Homo-oligomer: A and B are copies of this chain.
Amino acid sequence: MTEVEGSGSNTAMIETIQKAAVIGAGQIGRGWAAVFATAGLETMMTDPAPGAVEAGLDVSRDMIGQLAEAGLCEDPHAAQARLVPAPDVATAVRDAGWVQECGPENVACKSAIFAQLDAAAPPHALLGSSTSGIPGSQFLADLPGRERAIVMHPANPVHAMPVVEIAPSDWHMPDFVERCRAALTQVGQVPVVVNHEVPGFVMNRLQAAVINEAMSLVGRDVISPDDLDRVMEYSIGMRWAFIGPFATMDLNAAGGISEYTQKFAALYAGLGQDLRTSEPWAEAALTRTAEARRAALPLDRLRDRQSWRDRTLLRLRSLMENRRQDDPGAG
């Protein structure tokens, strides 16, 4: 376990975390384990299902291999050697400075797991939940150590898409949120803070905005599913891969975002009102999208394509790390 170094100043010093525990050996837990181990942390994983940890760590090791292949992990063998199975929660968290919960997505399970973690983990350890949609107040509010337990929602795959949404509840102190930011930065992830509890946090709300309109357009037969995907892949998706929506508006007018919004607010407000003019999840859209996907990719090639996607995401991340060094907008 690690200690907070220095506490005599107003600015709390941030610790360097040396050991992590991953609770749950599913897809998200595997990704976290790969991230922790790559960042140099001794990483223990536990899961109550027989054989789950061994299977999970196998995949984490593969993920580390993928990171190395993309130039994002210098010594994959050393990283892989930092992954250790643990027989139970108590063993996994005993010396951990950071415990990341990756259990089933329901309130009762998460409440039970956090009660265990809070009792067994060192007093200063950070307890994070990977929940993708349950507000922290629903399963952390009654925890004795709730001030050090918080939602930290990653993207999937965790090792390839580094953003993590820190979603504090109303009892969390700003210093603690800063400590979470620092911990995520330490392991190479990209922290963002969701100030209030809103359904879907931010990532899935933006995703929902696009998916609902996409389904509606296909349901109305405005465009085929394949062509809609092409629109995203060969235009706005390319841009959003490294320039978010606000920075995009900023670059698309000589006077920056103020000029852009002055010119186009009415247009976008109007389009906003016109979105989802048909029920997005109507049968026609479900049928058309399913038929289009199966025509494009037989189900037995799905796993190969997932692997190709993950490797491609990592190449993209590597390219962007390189390009960002020359970004006139960085720092």
Interface residues of A (CB under 8 A from B): 133, 155-156, 160-163, 165, 190, 192-196, 198-200, 202-214, 217-218, 220-247, 249-252, 254-258, 261, 265, 267-272, 274-276, 280-281, 286, 289-290, 292-294, 296-297, 299, 301-302, 304-306, 308-309, 312-313, 315-317, 319-320, 323, 326-329
Contact B246 A242 (CB under 8 A): no
- Shortest C-beta distance, A133 to chain B (Å), equals 7
Contact of A212 (CB < 8 Å), options: B192, B209, B226: B209
Contact A236 B240 (CB under 8 A): yes
Chain B residues closer than 8 Å to A316, beta-carbon distance: 238, 241-242, 316, 319
Contact B292 A246 (CB under 8 A): yes
- Shortest C-beta distance, A259 to chain B (Å), equals 10
Q: List 18 interface pairs A-B (beta carbons < 8 Å), by A numbering.
A: A198-B220, A202-B223, A202-B231, A203-B236, A208-B275, A209-B209, A209-B213, A209-B272, A211-B268, A212-B272, A255-B299, A256-B299, A261-B289, A261-B290, A268-B281, A297-B328, A301-B328, A301-B329
| Copies, count | 2
Take A161-B235, A203-B231, A234-B190 as given contacts and tell me if A280 and B272 are in contact as well, using a CB distance cutoff of 8 Å: yes
Contact of A193 (CB < 8 Å), options: B224, B229, B250, B252: B224
The docked-state distance in angstroms from the alpha carbon of A55 to that of B70 is 41
The docked-state distance in angstroms from the alpha carbon of A296 to that of B313 is 26
